[in-house]
Chain A
Amino acid sequence: MSSNLLVVEDLTVTVAQKEIVSAANLEIPFLSVTALVGGSGSGKTTMGLAVLKLLPLGFNVRQGRIWFDGREVLDLSEDRMRLLRGKEIGMVFQEPLYAFNPVFSIGDQIAEVLRAHTPLNLRQRRARILELLNLVGLPNPQRAAGNYPHQLSGGMRQRAMIAQAIAAGPKLLIADEPTSNLDVTLQAKIMELFRKLKDELKLSILLITHDLGMVAHMADRVAVMTGGKIVEQGMTKDVLKDPRHPYTRTLMETIEV
């Protein structure tokens, strides 16, 4: 227990009696990259949202526990959750074009996180925003901060989104299909960025993806999910070398082509 940042125990999420996630167990050790792999509709995004208690209306957690850094997340009040979200757990969404509010500039939206979670004043916030945008590898931080989301390219937007997610210095970063909408070269660059941030900022990362190829490059641990169940979990190289579950094998066949 002590070596894990996040532990999900026996989590079941239902929508109108249908189990979206059934009795799932997941462990994320400190300073690791854990991949949650599965096809569309396997419940992996629901798992990610459940950790932040951001499940959409109609989704119910029927049973289970979620321990984050020694705290039981599901018992926390909404006020306490707000301190957790953004500050201790950052989230990177699949399509940053939609995850950014189109009417505010990138800088504004990062500033918002800093205002909510840090005591920085206006000048310090500005400096911090530039520092963050620089850290995620945006070529011209000054300009990017003043840009609106639609003015940036897909890759730059994703970097900006990551900058926003790490702005308040979270311990865990949940990345939900962070590269699915990017082309292959950009995917590799964003993955590189994740790895760099993990080392520099002492992050743990939960990488939600359907791309086993990426998992092989990135993740220390992998959990394979299908039909709401986690069917296989372990160190990446072990799982990939010797997949136990038929679904894992199916997934592996898809990348070997």
Chain B
Amino acid sequence: MTKNAEHLSEFQIALRGFTQNRLAVSCAYVLLVLYAGALLAGFFAPYSFQDEDRNYSYAPPTQVKIFDNGRFVAPYVPGMKLTFDEYNARIYVIDPVQKYSIRFFVPGDTYRLFGVFPCRHHLFSVDSPGRIYLLGADARGRDVFSRLLYGAQVSLSIGLIGVFISFAIGLLVGGISGYYGGRLDNFLMRLCEMVMMVPGFYLLLALRAAVPDNFNSLQVYFAIIIILSFIGWAGLARIIRGMCLSLREREYVLAAKGLGLSDIKIIVRHILPHTLSYSIFAVMLSIPGYILGESGLSLIGLGIQDPYASWGNMLSDAMSIVRIKFAPWILWPAFCIFLTVACFNVIGDALRDCLDPMLKSEGENT
């Protein structure tokens, strides 16, 4: 597979640069794992997102044991007994009598694989009535691990869909604005400024307030995406517009006009592709904004509603310092958000380095 250097496309060269950045590649793998988890949430999660057991409120992470009295056995989880200390705080103690084996590929709650195929088998589960909480339980005894996976479906997809919509709008508005110039440009850019003028989160709240309360979770989900996209497009549109102002003076744009192509075709085929290298890393760098936006809304109870899980609304449980002290595992969603945002940022930076050769050489010289 030795390819002549001269036949490498610009994209391949950029990809090669990217793969040399170890940190970025490992971040890409982390994201891959997170997205795979979200996609196959039903399979990986032992319980559904609303499967609760009040006897296990704030149960700590279950210990998986493979030794029984010094003998190596199939993995099992010990039973747990609930007691209270002198301040009436819950204390879970291991009950050495009860043992529940962990079983793999067992039928359990039905779910839809990829949201389409009905399916009953889960990667692992324990014999009832035992319960397994890999990452602990929340207030209502729901499995944090399962809810993290289901929450990832919302939190991670909102970033992608939101960025897709707002970039479609941003590219089109920026392209039209930069290509035509004049009054239309003036109007569209003032519009962008108006959107950008309002601080993002307040605009988010204001727009959310305009959405009816009685929406079901799916409607809320789409409402949030639309709101987030509505905020996100303006900054991009301005930058794309600036690039288009210079791109439209290229001779191939004149040539395309001379060939009788329509304006929209010229914008979409001959101008916007040249903003691609910018757009790619701009997309990566702006996805975290959407994830954080959704988390913020859900955190304060305006986003995805219980019992549906999103990383944001799982965190609303963690708004009290006391709960964090006694059940620190409810902070897992925060860790996931942090990880995702950091990964997207590292990847975005790495992409910028390898897609923008000028910037890179500047960095290397210093």
Residue of A nearest to B251 (CB): A98
Cβ–Cβ contact A101 & B261, under 8 A: no
Whether, in the assembled complex, A82 has its beta carbon less than 8 Å from a beta carbon of chain B, the answer is yes
Question: Of the candidates A93, A103, A168, which one forms a contact with B255 in the assembled complex, judged by CB atoms under 8 Å apart?
Answer: A93
Q: Which of B78-86, B218-226, B267-275, B317-325 contacts A (4 or more CB under 8 A)?
A: B267-275
Cβ–Cβ contact B258 & A91, under 8 A: yes
Known: A57-B181, A98-B252, A99-B252. Is A116-B274 also a contact (CB below 8 A)?
no
A91 CA / B255 CA spacing, docked (Å): 8
Cβ–Cβ contact B260 & A85, under 8 A: yes
0/1 string, A90-115, CB within 8 A of B gives 1: 11010100111111100000001100
Residues of A within 8 A of B16 (CB): none
Cβ–Cβ contact B251 & A85, under 8 A: no
Cβ–Cβ contact A103 & B260, under 8 A: no
A102 CA / B259 CA spacing, docked (Å): 16
Cβ–Cβ contact B252 & A112, under 8 A: no
- Name A173-202 residues within 8 Å CB distance of B: none
Whether, in the assembled complex, A158 has its beta carbon less than 8 Å from a beta carbon of chain B, the answer is no
Residue of A nearest to B254 (CB): A54
Q: In whole Å, how far is B312's beta carbon from the nearest beta carbon of chain A?
A: 39
Residues of A within 8 A of B265 (CB): 112, 116
Residues of A within 8 A of B260 (CB): 81-87, 113, 116-117, 168
Q: In whole Å, how far is B85's beta carbon from the nearest beta carbon of chain A?
A: 68
A168 CA / B258 CA spacing, docked (Å): 12
Q: What is the size, in residues, of chain A's interface with B at 8 Å between Cβ atoms?
A: 28
Residue of B nearest to A113 (CB): B259
Q: In whole Å, how far is B170's beta carbon from the nearest beta carbon of chain A?
A: 20
Q: In whole Å, how far is A162's beta carbon from the nearest beta carbon of chain B?
A: 12
A86 CA / B260 CA spacing, docked (Å): 5
Cβ–Cβ contact B270 & A101, under 8 A: yes
Looking at chain B's contact residues, the main secondary structure is helix
Which interface residue of B258, B261, B262, B270 has the most chain A CB atoms within 10 A?
B258
Cβ–Cβ contact B259 & A164, under 8 A: yes
Residues of B within 8 A of A82 (CB): 260-262
Cβ–Cβ contact A116 & B270, under 8 A: no
Residues of A within 8 A of B256 (CB): 101, 112
Question: Of the candidates A81, A86, A91, A100, which one forms a contact with B252 in the assembled complex, judged by CB atoms under 8 Å apart?
Answer: A100
- Name B231-287 residues within 8 Å CB distance of A: 250-252, 254-262, 265, 269-270, 273-274
Cβ–Cβ contact B261 & A112, under 8 A: yes
A164 CA / B256 CA spacing, docked (Å): 11
Residues of B within 8 A of A101 (CB): 252, 256, 269-270, 273
Q: In whole Å, how far is B264's beta carbon from the nearest beta carbon of chain A?
A: 11
A220 CA / B259 CA spacing, docked (Å): 26
A100 CA / B251 CA spacing, docked (Å): 8
Residues of B within 8 A of A100 (CB): 252, 255
A81 CA / B265 CA spacing, docked (Å): 15
User: 16 A-B residue contacts at CB 8 Å?
Assistant: A54-B257, A81-B260, A83-B260, A84-B260, A85-B258, A91-B255, A93-B251, A95-B251, A101-B252, A102-B252, A103-B274, A104-B269, A112-B259, A113-B260, A117-B260, A164-B259
Q: A85-B259, A112-B265, A116-B259 are in contact. List 11 more A-B contacts (CB 8 A).
A: A52-B257, A57-B181, A82-B261, A85-B257, A85-B260, A87-B260, A91-B258, A95-B251, A103-B274, A113-B261, A116-B262
On B, residues with C-beta under 8 Å from A are: 181, 250-252, 254-262, 265, 269-270, 273-274
On A, residues with C-beta under 8 Å from B are: 52, 54, 57, 81-87, 90-91, 93, 95, 98-104, 112-113, 116-117, 164-165, 168
Closest 10 CB pairs of A and B: A86-B260, A85-B260, A86-B259, A98-B251, A99-B255, A91-B258, A101-B252, A82-B260, A113-B259, A103-B273
